[in-house]
Amino acid sequence: ILKILQKNEINSTTAFGISSLLLTEVDTLQAKCLGDLAQYFVDSVKNGGFKGGKCAEFLSNVLRVINSRETIPKGESEVKGSEFKGQIINSICCSRWDPTMAVHMSTMFQGIPLTSDELRFVIEKVLRLFAELDLADQPTAAYQLLLLSAKGHKKLVLEGLCKHYTAQDDANRGRGIMIDSEDLMTESTCLTTLRQIEGTVILHITQAVKQDRELGLQFIKYVKILSQSSGSKVVSPFILSLLLSISQLHHFEDQIFDFLKSTIIKCLRYEEKQQLSLWLRECCPIGPKTMDLVLEAVEHSTYDWDHVTQGLVILGFGLMDSFGPKIVLGVLQDNASNKGHLTPTQLACQLGHKILLKTFKVHEVVRSEILDQIFNHIMKARTPVSHYLDLLSDAVYTAPQLLLESISKIQELIVQVPQLTPKTAEGLLSAIQPLLKLNAFLKDTLMLVLRKAMFSRQLDSRKIGVLGFLLILKHFRVLGGLPSSQVSQPISLSQANVHSRYNAASNEALCLEIVGNLRRCFTQQADIRLSIYQGLYDVLHKNSQLVNPVLDMLLSQLKKYYEPNEGLPPLRLEPCIITQGEQVYLAEPLSHLVGCAQQCLRESIKILSNTSPTDDDDEPESSREPHGVEELQNILETMTKRIIKADMEDFELDKSADFSLATGVGVRNNIFAILLLGLYEVLMEFSFETGKFSPESCKQVLELFSKHNQLGSVVRDKSAAGAGKKGKVTQPKTTNFSLLSLPCIINFIKAIFNDQSNQTDHPTKQPTDGGGVDELRADKDFLPYLVSVATQKLGQVASKGTCEGEQLSEEKLLKSCHMLGRLLYLYYIEKQIADDDTNSRDQKLTSRCLEGLGLVVEIASKHGLDAVHQCLTHLEKEPGNEKERLKESDKIEKIHKHLMKFQRLVATILSEDKEHQNMKDVSVILSVMAHLVIYLPNQGQEYLQVHTWLHKVATEQTIDDAATCRQILSLLLNLSRQTKSLPQLLRTLCQDVHSQLGDIELDCEVDERTNFSVTKSSNCPTTGVVTLVLTYLEDDLDDIDWVIGCHKASMLASPGHLEQATQVESIEKSICTRLGLLVISFVQLTHSAISNKQCSQALLKAVTKLFNTLTALTKHYISMYTNKAGHLGSRFEKLVSLVGKELTPQTYNMIIYLQVSLPFSLLLATTECMDFFQVKAIKQAKMLANLICAIEQMEKFLIQLTKKSKVNLMEHVKVTTSRDFRI
């Protein structure tokens, strides 16, 4: 009957009836019959005849009954029923199963009482078959395993499923559907099916966890152990998706997301550590990047994994909330201006950004929620929201139509814009700006909100209104002429439809209305006016048809302060201030007004020169257009000539006047002086840019500069006299903030240097030798002033990522910096090639140029490899095409070529006589090299060449400057982290420290020769070298601790994996060898007579850390013996011997030396400073106690390891029984 049932030769109804009858009779069968039936099933499994179905259910009942019988006949003897059942299960599981049997077997074993070992055997058998199962059968098998896990071994089931699907993801990673694939359809179908199967399995596990909370706890316990050995496995797509799916259950939500955030940041920190150290990469090879793995999970979720989507949203916002920019003590931390090298915290925030952006694009169901949360975060004024504005901007840029589906939410956000800070509001309006062109309703809503904001009582709201109007003017371009007489047209005209990209009528009406609104702002506070002046030039540059309205507006405003009577000063400064009692305030930033006017005038002239009338009908309009241009130009030219003739006294400023900020008169004079200094600068720019290098214009520039210099000196002298010696200014030619624009500075320096390249966005007619430019070159103060201002602006870009007062895009700002770097670099090189007989003034100027170049390279380095390549392309005498697409190898070759140029510059400086050596220049060049060398491949010949050269400089060159010596050593040690020579280098440096400081034993003679020239005490104070060496020694100990921790966690996560034995042994050898070299380094330091208190305390701390690391390694070996996972190596025995013979005894000698020297300082102390020395003594005593405790802890665990390993590790270790020192 069973054979017939297995062959499926009868219909299902009959089979069901027969099997039901048999099942009712199982309990009545004799023991021998039960044994024979069980043996029959075993034979059918072995010969492949078992097909499951009703037979599986029958076998399950047979084994259940056998388990309940006391005895079952077996041959001539009898065995216990439970034992017989165990033998049958063992025979079944030891047989070879057809993969299709796995599901049937899993179902069958659910009805059989199983011991823990039998259950484990069955589960392992099914899991081993998982790889051979058809994809369609895997969800069923997984479901049956989860049912089996109700009996026990939950962790084993979850671990097996996770390992299987993680391996599947690893095998298919990078495998895509290629266009030229011969089996395109099969490949696509296979991957799609795999993802769908994974999603179903995740859903099964989630449902099982919902029914059995213990299963969820076991899973979390498993992933926590897994994260200790390999955090990247936890964020692999399958396990991460499973965690996110389970997180939807309330009991596990907070626990899982806290765990995921901590795991992700830990993984990113580990990746950073690995990138910084070659040894770490050798011990723990780099796997797939954490960011790629997490984003892979987002891609997998597109295969209908709706149960994962909500978790992705929560995780994305969790990462952005936890690791976004923070305000600490009033300072915005974690500024992401360094795009070339992001910190782990910034990377975690960026990962959250990418998760949300990708999820927003592919999952319609959560779009509304994502937008809601973005908007809610933006409306919070308590925390920085720049990262959420970036997310919104990217969402608008990549999928504007998806945003328009939530138009009501965007409208609600626009209505609340006036409640934001000006910076946040500007970022928000810039982000949603593309949507305004696609939807007239949004544009109208914004216009209404901005109009109301213009008349708000809050200053910030009015500023937001101005910023919003300027933004609209920039992006709603007008095509065709725009007479200024139309500015006062009705507001309602702006309500026209703007669904087309360029709607001439609506855009014209809109822009005219806005210009009219901006006119009204000229009656408001200085901050509001300043915002207009700083934005109008950019408006005109992007919306050229607004020439007449903008110039007319500026002209009417300028006339309020311009004095046409030539018998008086050209400008009235008194209306520019407001006096309220004793308080004086700035009302009109006049210098910014004139600066804006001259910039807009020059832009207008350029626009009009490029516009020619095509027919006679346009002639009247054209003839009207230049009128405002001519009038404004005449005023500015006249103003320039008259202000040159005017003296300080004409503006009510006297050399002996009060400039202190403590009195109202002093504040008034300061405001007038600042306005006048700014006017001199903006008129210098106007004269130079419009004069086209004529002798007259250059003469005017120098006269204005002379006035600027004279007034600046008076203000500085008065300020210094009021503040005392501390108020003296070190750079007499630099003002606090220069109003010269960056393009103008470039054109000035380019003309003076006569650089013939044409790489600037603001090309000017190239000067020839002679004429007015020669006058600029002849003035010895003018060029240093320009270079000083240029360096000031570059410093601002390097620190903040922006330049105050410049409305340039990031790309144009970067290009301007590169152009400026080229000019400064070529000037420096030219002076280096010229005669050495340069005076100190020229030397300061060349050093300042080099300082500016250093800032330019720093700025480029913060923007990544492409920016560095563009920067270096500009530095070449015959610059190539910066936009040319080059291979990465070509870019690296260019970087190395320039590094070799800088090496030659250093060699040139060091080869000069000592009195002519400029060590400040060497320091700047080394900084430049440090920024460039990080882009070289760590194991490439180029990197090794730079390392070898630097090692040679440190060894052979005699450098008297201590700061430069420390910088060379610091850079050498930093580069050595990417080579195998760091421990040897540290040991050598410690030998040099010992030779320079002498030994703590007075009778011991030490060879005073050093391995490095820069470590000689005559060149560099040894205390500085000690501090530097201890820093890198502690960093290396941190790396060793990290490797020990990873190694230990890996062994605990996968015990008994003998195939990794060779790798484990090599890692342990590497750890012991590296620790041995560090121990030798510390032996040298403990021998050194370090008298400096800070250095001695740092040494105590470092030695304590060393013994703690040795203790951690000892405990790791104890753990190995406890888990029977390995044994001691000979390297560890040698390491313990070295510590016992050399380090521990000498450490005790050092402690005695330090304690003997401490009372001496206390005896010299006076009563007043006794408390100070007592605090120092207590602090040092605590450090000594920690060190002694660390030594004794190491000895304690060595004794334990000796007992477990049967190896006498204490042979050379003298255990302390009494002490000759205090604790």
pLDDT tens, residue by residue, 533-561: 999 999 998 888 888 899 999 999 999 99
Which phi and psi (to 5°) does residue 460 adopt? -60, -40
SS3 per residue for 1133-1188: HHHHHHHHHHHHHHHHHHHHHHHHHHHHHHHHCCCCCHHHHHHHHHHHHHHHHHHH
pLDDT exceeds cutoff 90 at 486: no
pLDDT attached to residue 88 = 80
* Percentage of the residues of the chain whose pLDDT score is greater than 70: 83
Which phi and psi (to 5°) does residue 332 adopt? -75, 115
Q: At 499, is the secondary structure helix, strand, or coil?
A: coil
Residue with tokens 């400073």: 1169
CA–CA separation, 1062 and 1058 (whole Å): 8
Instruction: Report the pLDDT averaged over residues 329-340.
Output: 58
Around Cβ 243, how many Cβ atoms within 10 Å?
25
Residue 367's alpha-carbon distances to 246, 322, 371, 523, 852, in angstroms, are 22, 22, 6, 44, 47
Residue 274's alpha-carbon distances to 268, 387, 1033, 1188, in angstroms, are 10, 27, 17, 32
pLDDT attached to residue 485 = 43
Instruction: Report the pLDDT averaged over residues 232-241.
Output: 93
Instruction: Report the pLDDT averaged over residues 1046-1060.
Output: 68
CA–CA separation, 1115 and 1201 (whole Å): 8
Confidence of residue 176 (pLDDT cuts 50, 70, 90): low
Contacts of 395 (CB under 8 A, 6+ apart): 357, 360, 374, 402, 403
pLDDT exceeds cutoff 50 at 80: yes
Which phi and psi (to 5°) does residue 432 adopt? -90, 0
Q: Report whether 231 contacts 263 (CB < 8 A).
A: yes
Q: At 382, is the secondary structure helix, strand, or coil?
A: coil
Instruction: Report the pLDDT averaged over residues 841-852.
Output: 90
- Amino acid code (one letter) for 686: F
Around Cβ 143, how many Cβ atoms within 10 Å?
20
Q: Rounded mean pLDDT of the chain?
A: 84
Q: The tokens of 511 are what? A: 């822009």
CA–CA separation, 396 and 403 (whole Å): 7
pLDDT attached to residue 588 = 92
pLDDT exceeds cutoff 60 at 1166: no
Residue 927: CA count within 13 A, CB half-sphere: 18
Contacts of 75 (CB under 8 A, 6+ apart): none
pLDDT attached to residue 500 = 42
Around Cβ 720, how many Cβ atoms within 10 Å?
14
pLDDT exceeds cutoff 70 at 1180: no
Residue with tokens 């320009």: 786
Q: The tokens of 238 are what? A: 């399958």
> When comparing pLDDT for 1152 and 63, which is higher?
1152
Confidence of residue 1056 (pLDDT cuts 50, 70, 90): low
pLDDT attached to residue 980 = 92
pLDDT attached to residue 488 = 40
> When comparing pLDDT for 82 and 300, which is higher?
300
Q: At 669, is the secondary structure helix, strand, or coil?
A: helix
DSSP string, 881-897: -TT----HHHHHHHHHH
Q: At 1057, is the secondary structure helix, strand, or coil?
A: coil
Residue from 1094, 1096, 1218 nearest 1156 by CA: 1096
Element at 352 (helix H, strand E) = helix 344-362
pLDDT exceeds cutoff 90 at 764: no
Q: What is the domain partition of the chain in residue ranges?
A: 740-883, 886-980, 985-1008+1016-1205
pLDDT exceeds cutoff 50 at 622: no
CA–CA separation, 666 and 655 (whole Å): 13
Chain centroid to Cα 1182, Å, comes to: 38
Angle between the N-to-C axes of helices 941-956 and 919-933, in degrees from 0 to 180, rounded to the nearest 10: 160
pLDDT exceeds cutoff 70 at 734: no
Residue from 1120, 1108, 1126, 1110 nearest 1074 by CA: 1110
CA–CA separation, 418 and 446 (whole Å): 11
Instruction: Report the pLDDT averaged over residues 870-886.
Output: 76
Instruction: Report the pLDDT averaged over residues 1185-1202.
Output: 92
Count, residues in the chain: 1223
CA–CA separation, 285 and 622 (whole Å): 71
Instruction: Report the pLDDT averaged over residues 891-908.
Output: 93
Confidence of residue 192 (pLDDT cuts 50, 70, 90): confident
pLDDT exceeds cutoff 60 at 1058: no
> When comparing pLDDT for 615 and 416, which is higher?
416
For the stretch 770-814, pLDDT in tens is 567 888 888 899 999 999 999 999 999 998 888 887 777 888 999
SS3 per residue for 173-230: CCCCCCCCCCCHHHHHHHHHHHHHHHHHHHHHHHHHHHHCHHHHHHHHHHHHHHHHHC
pLDDT attached to residue 615 = 44
pLDDT attached to residue 415 = 93
Residue 952: CA count within 13 A, CB half-sphere: 10
Angle between the N-to-C axes of helices 1022-1053 and 962-976, in degrees from 0 to 180, rounded to the nearest 10: 20
Range with the lowest mean pLDDT among 74-83, 800-809, 1089-1098? 74-83
Q: At 332, is the secondary structure helix, strand, or coil?
A: strand
Confidence of residue 858 (pLDDT cuts 50, 70, 90): very high
Contacts of 510 (CB under 8 A, 6+ apart): 443, 447, 472, 476, 494, 496, 498
> When comparing pLDDT for 70 and 726, which is higher?
70
* Percentage of the residues of the chain whose pLDDT score is greater than 90: 48
pLDDT attached to residue 1099 = 94
> When comparing pLDDT for 918 and 1032, which is higher?
1032
Q: Report whether 846 contacts 823 (CB < 8 A).
A: no
For the stretch 674-733, pLDDT in tens is 999 999 999 999 999 998 888 899 999 999 999 999 998 888 887 766 655 444 433 334
Residue from 258, 262, 187 nearest 227 by CA: 262
CA–CA separation, 212 and 700 (whole Å): 87
pLDDT attached to residue 173 = 80
pLDDT exceeds cutoff 70 at 1061: no
For the stretch 281-304, pLDDT in tens is 998 888 889 999 999 999 999 988
Q: Report whether 678 contacts 708 (CB < 8 A).
A: no
pLDDT exceeds cutoff 90 at 328: no
> When comparing pLDDT for 552 and 498, which is higher?
552
For the stretch 667-676, pLDDT in tens is 888 999 999 9
> When comparing pLDDT for 327 and 890, which is higher?
890
Chain centroid to Cα 1144, Å, comes to: 42
Specify which residues 668 forms β-bridges with. none
pTM of the full structure: 0.88
DSSP string, 756-783: -----SS--PPP-SSTHHHHHHH-TTHH
pLDDT attached to residue 5 = 61
Confidence of residue 63 (pLDDT cuts 50, 70, 90): confident
> When comparing pLDDT for 1218 and 382, which is higher?
382
pLDDT attached to residue 1028 = 95
For the stretch 1001-1018, pLDDT in tens is 877 877 778 899 998 888
Instruction: Report the pLDDT averaged over residues 163-179.
Output: 75
Range with the lowest mean pLDDT among 28-37, 348-357, 551-560, 1065-1074? 28-37
CA–CA separation, 413 and 426 (whole Å): 13
Instruction: Report the pLDDT averaged over residues 411-440.
Output: 91
Specify which residues 1018 forms β-bridges with. none
